C-alpha cells in the first residue's frame, strides 16, 4: 500500500500545526504517517512511497533539527529512494524562500521528484518576541496544508507519481 511520510520540525508550533493539518488531509485519502524530524530514520524513508517535509525557516535557513534529519538520513538511503515524489511546506516569518531552496537542493541530491511548488506560510513574525512566541496558523492556511496532504496521498494511491 502507498504510504505518505510526513516529516516535520517545529519549535513554536507553526510547522507542527501545518504538518498535523496535512496529516489529517492525507489520512482521508490513504495511508500516512506523521513523524517528528528528530525521530525519523532511514528505515522510515525506505518504507514510504512519498514524502511531505514541513519545517520552519530559522535565520533565513532550514531549521537546524530538520537539517540534522537530512544529515543523519541522507547517505543511508542515497540511491534507494530515487524518483519518489515529495512536497514541502515552510513556516516562515518573512519569505521562506531560502529554506525552500535548501530543502529542494537536498531532495535533488536524493533524486526525488517535486510534485508541487513549496507551500510557504508566512507568520510575519519580525520582532524577537513575535519570533519566539507560540504560533497560531489561521484556518484558511491550515486548509491549504490539508489540501497538500490530501493531494499527495491521493496521488500516491492513484499511482499518479
Domain that holds residue 94: 3-158
**How many structural domains does the chain have?**
1
Using alpha carbons only, give the angle 82, 52, 133 rounded to the nearest 5 degrees. 140
Please compute, for residue 71, the number of CA atoms within 13 A of its CA located in the half-sphere on the CB side. 8
- For the stretch 50-104, pLDDT in tens is 999 999 999 999 999 999 999 999 999 999 999 999 999 999 999 999 999 999 9
DSSP category for residue 135: P
pTM of the model: 0.97
For the chain, report the end-to-end CA distance as a whole number of angstroms.
14
What's 47's domain CATH number? 3.40.50.360
The counts of H helices and E strands in the chain are 6, 7
Element spanning 149, H or E: helix 139-158
Distances (CA, A) of 148 to 7, 87, 101, 131: 14, 8, 19, 25
61: helix, strand or coil: strand
Asked whether the predicted pLDDT for residue 126 surpasses 90, the reply is yes
* Of the candidates 88, 6, 73, the residue with the CA atom closest to the CA atom of residue 42: 73
Q: What is the pLDDT at residue 30?
A: 84
Phi/psi zone of residue 96: left (φ > 0), alpha (ψ -120 to 50 degrees), beta?
A: left
Please compute, for residue 1, the number of CA atoms within 13 A of its CA located in the half-sphere on the CB side. 10
- For the stretch 6-34, pLDDT in tens is 999 999 999 999 999 999 999 999 899 99
Q: What is the pLDDT at residue 137?
A: 98
Amino acid at each position: 500500500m502507498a504510504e505518505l511520510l510526513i516529516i516535520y520540525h517545529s519549535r513554536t508550533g507553526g510547522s507542527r500545526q501545518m504538518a498535523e493539518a496535512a496529516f489529517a488531509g492525507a489520512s482521508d485519502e490513504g495511508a500516512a504517517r506523521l513523524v517528528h524530524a528528530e525521530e525519523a530514520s532511514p528505515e522510515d524513508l525506505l518504507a514510504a512511497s512519498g514524502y511531505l517535509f514541513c519545517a520552519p525557516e530559522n535565520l533565513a535557513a532550514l531549521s537546524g533539527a530538520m537539517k540534522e534529519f537530512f544529515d543523519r538520513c541522507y547517505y543511508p538511503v542515497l540511491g534507494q529512494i530515487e524518483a519518489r515524489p515529495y512536497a514541502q511546506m515552510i513556516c516562515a516569518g518573512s519569505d521562506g524562500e531560502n529554506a525552500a531552496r535548501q530543502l529542494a537542493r537536498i531532495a535533488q541530491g536524493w533524486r526525488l521528484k517535486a510534485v508541487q511548488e513549496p507551500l510557504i506560510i508566512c507568520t510575519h513574525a519580525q520582532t524577537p518576541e513575535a519570533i519566539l512566541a507560540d504560533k497560531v496558523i489561521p484556518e484558511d492556511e491550515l486548509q491549504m496544508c490539508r489540501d497538500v496532504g490530501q493531494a499527495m496521498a491521493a496521488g500516491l494511491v492513484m499511482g499518479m507519481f
